[in-house]
Amino acid sequence: MPKEVNRRDFIKLAAVAASVVTVGQVLPLQPKQAMAASSAPNPAVTLPVGAVSDTSDVLLRMQQELIQALKKPVEQRHWRMVLDLNKCVGCSACTIACVSENKLPPGVVYRPVLDEEIGTYPNVTRRFTPRPCFQCDHPPCVPVCPVNATWKQADGVVVVDYNLCIGCRYCLVACPYHARTSDFGANYCQNTAEAAGIIVGQQKADDYEKMPNFEYGKKWPRKKYTSPIGNARKCHFCLHRVANGMLPACVTTCIGRATYFGDTNDPDSLVSELVSRPDAIRLKEELGTEPSVYYLV
C-alpha cells in the first residue's frame, strides 16, 4: 500500500527536503514554451567547477551525462528512469522531495513508494517499489483526453498542459499504473487549529503551502480556481529541473542511490547500461504501453 503522508510528517519532512532540493532559477514560461525550453539544445548549462571530471559518484556521472544530452536536439534524446529494488530502503525521501519540489497538495503524490510484505511467516521480507509515472511510449492516458491537454514529447516525457486540462479525469481512469491524480485544491493546513511551536507554526506552514511551483518551467501560484487546482497531475521527470541541467528531485534525494535517470539514446550513459541488464524489467509489459521506467529486480 502507498504510504500516507500525514500533515505532521509532511511539515517535518518538507522542511528537510526543502533544504536539500533546490529548484534553481527557472524563468516563467507558458507550458508549450516550457516544452520547447526543455527540448532545445542547452550548451549554456555546465557542471559546478571541480565536478566535471569526478564521476566516482553516480549522481555526478548522471548529471554530466544529462548536460551532454541537453546539447542535442530533443528528438535525439529519450529520458528514462531506472529503479533498483535491491537498493530501495523504503525511506520515502523521494516521495517527500517530489512533494516539496512540486508543492503537491494532499491527495496528489507523483511518486509513492509501495510497501509490500512478501513470503510466509517466519520467512518474510518487505519490498519497496517507487512508482512514478512511467512516461509510456504508448500512453493510454493520451488518446482519451477530449481536449488534447496531454501528449508525449519527443524526449519521451508525457506532459499535461494545465491551461487546457478541464479536469474530466478520463486520463486517470485510462492509466493502468494509477500514476495520475486529481488536484482538488486541498491544503495540509486548512481548517486546523493554531499550532505555533510545532516546527514552524501554522502561519509559516500556510505560507509554505501557498508558494508557487515551477512545473513545466512556469510559475504556478496556489490560488483558488487557478490551475493546477482542478487539473490532472502526474510526474513529469522534473522537466523544469532537467531543462536547467539538474537531475529530478527524487534522483538527487534517494539515499540508497536506487534511482537512476538519463538519456538512453546515448549508448554510453549509465541508464543505457542498466536497462540492458538481464534483471531489468518493466511493469505490465503485456499491455504494450512501453514504459520508460525500468526496475532492477
**Which residue ranges make up the site for ligand SF4 (CB under 6 A)?**
133-136, 139-141, 144-145, 147, 149-150, 158, 160, 165-171, 175, 177, 179-180, 231-232, 234, 289
Residues in Cβ contact with 289 at an 8 Å cutoff, skipping those fewer than 6 apart: 134, 136, 137, 138, 139, 140, 176
Q: Measured from the CB of residue 14, what is the shortest distance to ligand SF4 in angstroms?
A: 24
> Least distance in Å: CB of 109 to ligand SF4?
13
Residue keyed to cell 508549450: 32
Instruction: Tell me the pairing of strands 150-152 and 123-130.
Output: unpaired
Beta carbon of residue 181, minimum distance to ligand SF4 (angstroms, whole number): 10
Query: How many C-alpha atoms does 66 have within 13 Å on its Cβ side?
Result: 29
Q: Which is nearer to ligand SF4, 31 or 262 (CB)?
A: 31
How many other CB atoms are found less than 10 A from the CB of residue 22? 12
Nearer to ligand SF4, 36 or 142 (CB): 142
Nearer of residues 96 and 172 to ligand SF4, judged by Cβ: 172
Q: How far is the CB of 2 from ligand SF4 (least distance, A)?
A: 15
Could you tell me the smallest distance in angstroms from the CB atom of residue 118 to ligand SF4?
23
| 65, 242 contact by CB (below 8 A) | no
Q: Smaller CB distance to ligand SF4: residue 24 or 143? A: 143
Please, which residue, 145 or 246, has the CB nearer to ligand SF4?
145
3 state DSSP class of 219: coil
Query: Rounded CA gap, 84 and 295, in Å?
Result: 6
- Give counts: helices (H), strands (E), the chain: 9, 10
Q: How far is the CB of 222 from ligand SF4 (least distance, A)?
A: 18
Tell me how far CA of residue 83 lies from CA of 119, 271, 288, in angstroms. 22, 10, 20
Residue 219 carries which side chain, given as an amino acid letter? K
What Rg, from alpha-carbon coordinates, does the chain have? 19
Spacing of C-alpha 192 from chain mean position: 29
Q: Residue 10 or residue 236: which is nearer to ligand SF4 going by CB?
A: 236
